[in-house]
Amino acid sequence: MATYTAPLADMRFVLNDLLGEEQIGDLPGADEVTPDLADAILEEAAKVCEGLLSPLNRTGDEEGCHFDNGVVRTPQGFKEAYRTFTEGGWTSLACDTEHGGQGLPETINMMVEEMICSANLSFGIYPGLSRGVYLALKAFGSEALKETYLPRLADGTWSGTMCLTESQCGTDLGLLNTRATPGDDGAYKITGTKIFISAGEHDLTENIIHLVLARTPDAPEGSRGISLFLVPKVSVAEDGSLGPANGVSCGSIEHKMGIHASSTCVINLDDATGFLVGDLNKGMRAMFVMMNTARMAVGIQGLGLAEAAYQGAAAYARERLQGRSLGGPKCPDKPADPIIVHPDVRRMLLTMRAYVEGARALGAWVSLHMDVAARHADADRRRQSQDLVELLTPVVKALFTDIGFEAGNLAVQVFGGHGYIREHGIEQYVRDARITQIYEGTNGIQALDLVGRKMPAHTGRYLRSFFHPVAAFIEEHQADGALEEFVLPLAKAFGRLQRATAWIAQKGLADPEEAGAAATDYLRLFGLVALAYMWTRMARLALGHGGGDGGFHEAKLGTARFFMHRLLPQTGALFATIMAGKGSTMDFDEAWF
Amino acid sequence: MAEIKKVGVIGAGVMGAGIAAHITNAGVPVVLLDIVPEGAENRNAIAEDAVKKLLKADPAAFMHERHAKLITTGNIEDHLDRVADCDWIIEAVIEKLDAKHAIYGKIDAVRKPGSIVSSNTSTIPLAVLCEGMPAGFARDFLITHFFNPPRYMRLLELVAGEKTRADALQAVRRFADVALGKGVVDCKDTPGFIANRIGIYWLQCGVLEAMEAGLTVEEADLVCGRPMGIPKTGVFGLLDLVGLDLMPHVLGSLAGALPETDAFHAVRREPELIGKMIADGYTGRKGKGGFYRLDTSSGKRVKEAIDLETGAYHPAQKPRLDSVEAATDGGLRALMEHPDKGGRYAWRVMARTLSYAAHLAPEIADDIVAVDEAMRLGFNWKSGPFQLIDQLGPAWFAEKLKTDGLPVPDLLETVGAGTFYRTDEGRPQHLAFDGGYTDVRRATGVLLLSDVKLRSEPVARNASASLWDIGDGVVCLEFHTKMNALDLGTLAMVGKAVRIVADGYQALVIYNEGSNFSAGANLGLMLFAANLAAWPMIEDMLVQGQDAYKALKYAPFPVVGAPAGMALGGGCEILLHCDAVQAHAEFYVGLVETGVGVVPAWGGCKEMLVRWSASPLRPRGFMPPVIKVFETVGTATVARSAPEARDLLYLGADDGITMNRDRLLADAKARALDLVDGYTPPEPPEISLPGPAARVALTMVLYGLRKLGKATPHDEVVAKVLAGVLSGDGTDVTESLTEDDLLALERRAFMELVRHPATIARIEHMLDTGKPLRN
């Protein structure tokens, strides 16, 4: 059975050393978080995740959620764990102080979220969705709605959901049918059926706040006629007390590949009372605010799973004795050497590790810019950081969840047959990770978002927020002797990314299918270059440390080297793939499939 | 045929004065007379003030300030004898018959035999104007109807009476066409002639239908604008421009002149709101505002629009209509078929307007081409009524009219399942009123690339530019990107042109029929590359541009640039590398690179230095040319006309100017053929520059600008780098620099600047807003 230990040393390194390099200036509220305070929070979070959530991961997976006549019960132990979790204030970590939150920066929140996802992804989905609802409501809700709902979402008394999907409309929200009819009292009556609603019904909280996309009777067709409504499961009086049930019911829950302990519901809305959030017909705008945060969060889910998988595989590879090292026995006193001596096992472990640590750094860097975008006093700085967040959100979502799945898969491989059986809990990571590549916009959609929206936006302005710091870093350090082995491959991969970007932008302008055909490979290329930038920066910091610290910095350098030598060269193949164009993909007659 | 060497204009109102100014733009002297104001001290005050106003007009009435000196002012009581030696006398007095008749009598008494008299009337038929006038006067009389403003509106409606001398008509036609650059359209002698007859009807339909259907002015103008190929001022914005107070006169005059059966009477009424607006002084842009106004009370300029029901103003909206969006891909028909209110409005207005035009055409014009030309040149429509019907499909249009119970004009029956225009063996043809097709006639000396394209395939083509064989061994290089921005495709085609022309042709003309010759290098591409930090990619674009332009300059055949409209940045630089330029008079040229925070680097600095160094216009010494170029380029000075371009040396002394846009290509081609015999490419110049010493002087210039508040912080950064290029960097006057040395300096300066965040901000702002950022 895998045990999870929060990677606190690496988190400290990322938070203090790596992010410490950024010249940010004042971030009101965020800069009060001293390294000591951050440390204390992370240590506490580690305890909760290791001691409370991690033990429920496999049992929750085995048991799953129960559905009985509209009532959903979470697996044993979840309700109690949720109570402890909310009492510890973990739902309100990054909520505003004015709503009873702790106002902590996104950088800290992201680390905590990673731990939660490593320990128990299914559990993390419940508070994760509440946070999405909290943010959307904070950005677009009326004062009255905010006053009533935000504090209770922050303290975890109530939880939230996002009701977008319907049976005929998944990625293409323009097709949605749910109707909202205005009443005399300013409220709306909502009717329709939503599917695949995570945390749509459960027994963790006394009320569930649904954010529902629906159409008013005279709304324009397509995605321009969609509005966002707040629909509570139980109606709420002005003073916040609960009234009678609203017209919201759970029709069934799905039986699915993974995240068994997270309820995935069919939600029936039958004349349910709802309140408009934001402007009429501007629901997509509000949705995207929520979605951007949610996409970042899903990326972090991938990272969390990859970390857990790596830990399990590394521990097993040290223990499992099979065969002898190709270079001669390493443990002659034992019947066999531990499998960690084998190059291919090391390849798998280092691949996981290099991705995980690179992703942690990249995720933290983006989170920092989320904080800058939200809190900085200077409007230009806010905009520049927001540009970076917009640009890298699809990269983080798709790259990290792909990494999560790949790492889970590699971990199963390291375990061999023991990974394939349930006992060790390793195959669960693969199953749990699989959904993260799908929900909140499939990874294919993320790639299209990157090439179709983010790349051309404002003639490439978003790109500048990434390309300029990387180019400047390369220029500054290219003659930096000891760093050369990292900077040179970074520069080479970066050049490929530049050329691929220019090519896609130019081709895509005339023929969007060219951009579409290149999208997924391009996102991966982008992601690898972003990781390489992080790795080069981390290598520089590790070089500066020399050693004598229990090997942390040497290990960092070693992992950096593996990334540069063994993973980054994929950019060459990706570049060639992209430049091959759409022909072989699109000329293939549909009838031949 | 008598040549027109001097013109008299009687009446110095907006039209008379504007006509006078434009005649001076052709280099022809004008006598401008008006009445003596009652009790005036200065008896010439009206004409003199008119010239002063002309000098301040925006957009400018004169192509060059010095043209004002060609106008002799005076009054009709004391100075009528001054028109005695005029070859053409234009009457542009108030639209009252008795006033006109009175002045004709006086003119007839002094004018020289064989001189021509014309009226600028917009509504009064020629037959009426000639009533009671001597036979000799009627023989020399015609109507020349200009549109406002005369310099910019290309339409001139020409009406001859039965008695008008053919050679008088021909002399005016020729002068208006060649010297004034007008698109001359022959009209029959009917009220309102062609453009106003149809245009006013359209405006009235637009106003009344909008009010009836409850559209806002913003919505109406959105529909009756771009989707129809009509300027975005639409209906209400155009009325603001024309002046609401003018409408009652025009409507009254047309109503009085048109037969009772005319469809005009059904739409002639003036809505109550408009009467009230005029009474309150809301006469449009010249008054307190009109359907739109600018509210500056908050310190900001807020565009407001009037509510057609209440008459109250509200901040102008940017409406969105499905029908208008449908038109983006589906064209006019998708708009007019759409069921939303925009679509219904488009149908109601255009069905009536197009039917009216089709119904009237035989009565008011010689052919449909005249009708279309009049609406294009007089109202700036992209397509005339018959072209619009062709877009809709004449059969579809007729059918829909029937379905709606509207009368179907005979011409639509005539055209049947065909179209009004067609191409027959490469020749453009139009439907004649007799039902047959005839070739669209082009005047001698008119060569249109659009005609060449109908009858031939390009010699070479890529996405950005094409080469066309325009006959007699001359190839035309045409740009066809958006705004004719120059990109790598354009440069590749320049290179290809040099090879192809050298290999079997005589000369190259660079010309296109876009509204602007070229907006310069594709800034979007540049910005994208800069955002990617793809600096080598940008430097490569510089090298390719420099190489292409140099290849053009030293090609073994003559190259003539033939620009019209804007030629900015790289679009100016390509012209600087031509052997000769034949420019349209409406030519707006400049090296504007500093406006976006860079310096000209496709040889612009180099060529300007060479030009000013060789110019006899400047004082001796090494400094003056450097300072001249620094001032011109450093402040991104744009010439507002071809004559102004000459002062700035964007045009050389030997470069030609063509007044009529349609004659530009033929003139340029003739120029190129003139250069063919004994052509040798220019000698590469070597130039000595003052080096660091000059920088001090340039810093002084900069200091002056800064003190005037004309230089922003980034202007100074850019100016210093520019000073480095123009002074020759580390050189001194004893050294001589080659072209390549200068090009290298240009590149280095450009690359230094393009990495600057303030430069990137400028480029970004220009692309977003179309305006320079003053950071």
B251–A contact, CB cutoff 8 A:
no
Q: Do the Cβ atoms of B533 and A471 come within 8 Å?
A: yes
| Integer Cα distance of A234 and B300 in angstroms | 48
Q: Do the Cβ atoms of A502 and B463 come within 8 Å?
A: no
When mean pLDDT is compared across A246-260, B49-63, B596-610, B706-720, the lowest value belongs to B706-720
Is the confidence at residue A31, as pLDDT, over 80? no
B692-707 and B713-726 helices, crossing angle to 10°: 150
Q: Say what the pLDDT of residue B647 is.
A: 94
Decide: helix, strand or coil at residue B718. Answer: helix
In which band, very low, low, confident or very high, does the pLDDT at A547 lie, cut at 50, 70 and 90?
Answer: low
Q: Say what the pLDDT of residue B709 is.
A: 78
Instruction: Count CB-CB contacts under 10 A for residue B582.
Output: 28
Mean pLDDT for chain B? 94
B596 CB burial (10 A radius; 0-12, 13-18, 19+): buried
DSSP character at residue A248: E
B717–A contact, CB cutoff 8 A:
no
**pLDDT tens, position by position, A412-431:** 999 999 999 999 999 999 99
**pLDDT tens, position by position, B313-371:** 999 999 999 999 999 989 999 999 999 999 999 999 999 999 999 999 999 999 999 99
Decide: helix, strand or coil at residue B489. Answer: helix
Q: Say what the pLDDT of residue B110 is.
A: 95
Q: Is the peptide bond before B149 cis (omega within 30 degrees of 0)?
A: yes
Is the confidence at residue A549, as pLDDT, over 70? no
B534–A contact, CB cutoff 8 A:
yes
Nearest to B719 by CA among B601, B613, B633: B633
Contacts of B403 (CB under 8 A, 6+ apart): none
In which band, very low, low, confident or very high, does the pLDDT at B124 lie, cut at 50, 70 and 90?
Answer: confident
| Integer Cα distance of A276 and A271 in angstroms | 15
* Section A519-529 average pLDDT: 98
A contacts of B535 (beta carbons < 8 Å): 471
Tokens of A357: 């640590």
Q: Return the percentage of chain A with pLDDT > 70, whole number.
A: 99
Which among A459, A474, A490 is the top mutation candidate for probing chain B, defined by the most B β-carbons within 10 Å of its own β-carbon?
A: A459
Tokens of A587: 């000329």
B210 CB burial (10 A radius; 0-12, 13-18, 19+): buried
* Section B44-71 average pLDDT: 96
Q: Do the Cβ atoms of A460 and B463 come within 8 Å?
A: no
**pLDDT tens, position by position, A70-109:** 999 999 999 999 999 999 999 999 999 999 999 999 999 9
pTM score: 0.89
Instruction: Count CB-CB contacts under 10 A for residue A149.
Output: 25
Q: Return the percentage of chain B with pLDDT > 90, whole number.
A: 88
* Section A119-126 average pLDDT: 98
Q: Where are the domains positioned within chain B?
A: 7-187, 195-430, 449-591+637-676, 692-769
Is the confidence at residue B618, as pLDDT, over 80? no
> Which residue in chain A is spatially nearest to B463 when comparing CA positions?
A510
| Integer Cα distance of A341 and A322 in angstroms | 10
> Which residue in chain A is spatially nearest to B489 when comparing CA positions?
A506
> Which residue in chain B is spatially nearest to A496 when comparing CA positions?
B534
Is the confidence at residue A1, as pLDDT, over 60? no
Tell me how far CA of residue B34 lies from CA of B11, B15, B65, in angstroms: 5, 12, 22
A contacts of B321 (beta carbons < 8 Å): none
Is the confidence at residue A34, as pLDDT, over 90? no
| Integer Cα distance of B661 and B288 in angstroms | 36
In which band, very low, low, confident or very high, does the pLDDT at B437 lie, cut at 50, 70 and 90?
Answer: very high
| Integer Cα distance of A370 and A385 in angstroms | 7
Q: Do the Cβ atoms of B531 and A505 come within 8 Å?
A: no
| CATH 2.40.10.480 for domain B7-187 | no
A contacts of B528 (beta carbons < 8 Å): 459-460, 463, 502, 505
In which band, very low, low, confident or very high, does the pLDDT at A548 lie, cut at 50, 70 and 90?
Answer: low
Is the confidence at residue A286, as pLDDT, over 90? no
Is the confidence at residue B731, as pLDDT, over 90? no
A contacts of B322 (beta carbons < 8 Å): 220
Q: Do the Cβ atoms of B534 and A463 come within 8 Å?
A: no
Decide: helix, strand or coil at residue B422. Answer: strand
Q: Which CATH architecture has domain B449-591+637-676?
A: Alpha-Beta Complex (3.90)
> Rounded to a whole number, what is the largest CA-CA distance in chain A?
84
Decide: helix, strand or coil at residue B9. Answer: strand
**pLDDT tens, position by position, B739-766:** 999 999 999 999 999 999 999 999 999 9
Is the confidence at residue B1, as pLDDT, over 70? no
Tokens of B369: 């081409």
**pLDDT tens, position by position, B370-424:** 999 999 999 999 999 999 999 999 999 999 999 999 999 999 999 999 999 999 9
Contacts of A586 (CB under 8 A, 6+ apart): A513, A517
> Which residue in chain B is spatially nearest to A495 when comparing CA positions?
B534
Q: Do the Cβ atoms of A502 and B527 come within 8 Å?
A: no
A440 is catalytic: yes
When mean pLDDT is compared across A30-39, A48-57, B12-21, B122-131, the lowest value belongs to A30-39
| Enclosing H/E stretch for A129 | helix A106-140
Instruction: Count CB-CB contacts under 10 A for residue B335.
Output: 26
**pLDDT tens, position by position, B125-157:** 899 999 889 999 999 999 999 999 999 999 999
Which among A451, A464, A475, A503 is the top mutation candidate for probing chain B, defined by the most B β-carbons within 10 Å of its own β-carbon?
A: A464
Q: Can you count the helices (H) and strands (E) in chain A? A: 18, 11
Q: Return the percentage of chain A with pLDDT > 90, whole number.
A: 89
* Section B683-689 average pLDDT: 91
**Phi and psi based region of residue B689 (left: phi greater than 0; alpha: psi -120 to 50; beta: remaining):** beta
Q: Which of A106, A427, A440, A514 is catalytic?
A: A440
What residues does A153 pair with on adjacent strands?
Answer: none
| Integer Cα distance of B48 and B42 in angstroms | 9
**What number of C-beta contacts closer than 8 Å exist between A and B?**
45
When mean pLDDT is compared across A7-11, A222-226, B563-567, the lowest value belongs to A222-226
Tokens of B309: 């029901």
Distance, CA of B590 to chain centre: 17
**pLDDT tens, position by position, B67-99:** 999 999 999 999 999 999 999 999 999 988 999
| Integer Cα distance of A339 and A319 in angstroms | 8
> Which residue in chain B is spatially nearest to A506 when comparing CA positions?
B525
| Integer Cα distance of B348 and B205 in angstroms | 8
What residues does A130 pair with on adjacent strands?
Answer: none
In which band, very low, low, confident or very high, does the pLDDT at A218 lie, cut at 50, 70 and 90?
Answer: confident
Q: Say what the pLDDT of residue B295 is.
A: 87
* Section A390-395 average pLDDT: 98
A contacts of B521 (beta carbons < 8 Å): none
Q: Say what the pLDDT of residue A288 is.
A: 80
DSSP character at residue A550: T
A132 CB burial (10 A radius; 0-12, 13-18, 19+): buried
B contacts of A468 (beta carbons < 8 Å): 531, 533
Pick the CATH number of B195-430 from 1.10.1060.10, 1.10.1040.50, 2.60.120.260, 1.10.10.10: 1.10.1040.50
Interface ipTM: 0.91
Tokens of B76: 């009709």
| Enclosing H/E stretch for A136 | helix A106-140
In which band, very low, low, confident or very high, does the pLDDT at A517 lie, cut at 50, 70 and 90?
Answer: very high
Is the confidence at residue A582, as pLDDT, over 60? yes
B769–A contact, CB cutoff 8 A:
no
Mean pLDDT for chain A? 94
Fold identical between B195-430 and B449-591+637-676? no
Q: Do the Cβ atoms of B527 and A510 come within 8 Å?
A: no
Which among B525, B532, B538, B596 is the top mutation candidate for probing chain A, defined by the most A β-carbons within 10 Å of its own β-carbon?
A: B532
B contacts of A463 (beta carbons < 8 Å): 528, 531-532
Q: Do the Cβ atoms of A459 and B322 come within 8 Å?
A: no
Q: Do the Cβ atoms of A459 and B532 come within 8 Å?
A: no
B526–A contact, CB cutoff 8 A:
no
